[in-house]
Copies of this chain bind each other. A is one copy, B any other.
């Protein structure tokens, strides 16, 4: 059993194989440039010593990391899981590694994480939503770090982005809800500050009301963190008024799950006593009872496209193309026409 020693270096391998460090390096990075006989000798030395290249040193010398960084608001629930999974799979096939950090929806932590990923040499960055301090974009531009925004689409954004229209999607759902006869509507929104997706979704509900001749100011709005418990507590407030709303539209599926749990605890039947809707169509939506009416977002597709585009930006030093994806309505049992 080998004793604890510090890791073997390129030098060790070179000595063991009786070649120069340059040759070893070439064996590892462009094997076709070294003749078969030498290569096998080097590779067996690598094997024998259990050599793993030192990433830091390699980065310094080569000034490329083949690493992409992504900063997502949270890992606590599955909102980003599926899209990120697809993102990383696509990166992997292209020879890149994904580094993920989470910001807990806090701008200052996000900034810290961005700097940390850049310091680690990320060749490119994926960020969620476009709303953030201009200073950060300057910082990224100054260092020429290709950056792509996902989970949101804004045609007028200066940043390339790939995603869907949160506002329009939510308005489409609202139109449907109203068409079913609902008019007393409550919204449980995620925290709006610094979150363009949450803002867009809430705006979508208001636009839907206006579009259908209802007063947007009549909308009951409760703001709460994107957590099940948040949704549960917000539900209490949402139904607290004298006339109970007939439908609670939630900013995402997680909030909706919390709201539905609370409804059950209060012995309110969904959808007989009150309807509930979500947003995202994560797996959760289908296991709720009743299944949740929600907005389906093509997460996997978004992740894949983002990877393709970001790699292109990195490798071709291009500016990045925005792309809008289409969401769709998933009508399920949690939403019922008002009789």
Residues of A within 8 A of B (CB): 1-7, 50, 52-57, 59-60, 75-78, 81-82, 84-85, 97, 99-100, 115-116, 118-121, 138-139, 141-144, 228, 257-258, 260-261, 264, 283-284, 286-289
Contact = CB atoms under 8 A, between A and B. Distances in A.
Contact of A76 (B6, B82, B288): B82
B52 A115 contact: yes
B4 A141 contact: yes
Contacts of A288: 287, 289
**Number of copies of this chain in the oligomer?**
2
A142 B97 contact: no
A57 B60 contact: yes
Contact of A56 (B53, B55, B97, B116): B55
A238 B231 CA distance: 34
Given A7-B118, A78-B78, 5 more contacts: A5-B143, A56-B56, A75-B75, A75-B81, A228-B283
A82 B75 CA distance: 9
Contacts of A1: 138, 141
A142 B78 contact: no
23 contacts: A1-B141, A2-B138, A4-B143, A5-B142, A52-B119, A54-B121, A55-B116, A55-B120, A56-B57, A56-B120, A60-B60, A75-B75, A75-B81, A75-B84, A77-B78, A77-B81, A97-B116, A100-B100, A260-B287, A261-B286, A264-B289, A287-B288, A289-B289
A134 B57 CA distance: 28
Contacts of A141: 1-2, 4
Nearest to A113: B97
A143 to B, nearest CB: 5
A144 B6 contact: yes
Given A2-B138, A6-B143, A60 B50 contact: no
A323 B118 CA distance: 37
A100 to B, nearest CB: 6
B4 A142 contact: yes
Contacts of A7: 118, 143
Contacts of A60: 54, 56-57, 60
A2 B52 contact: no
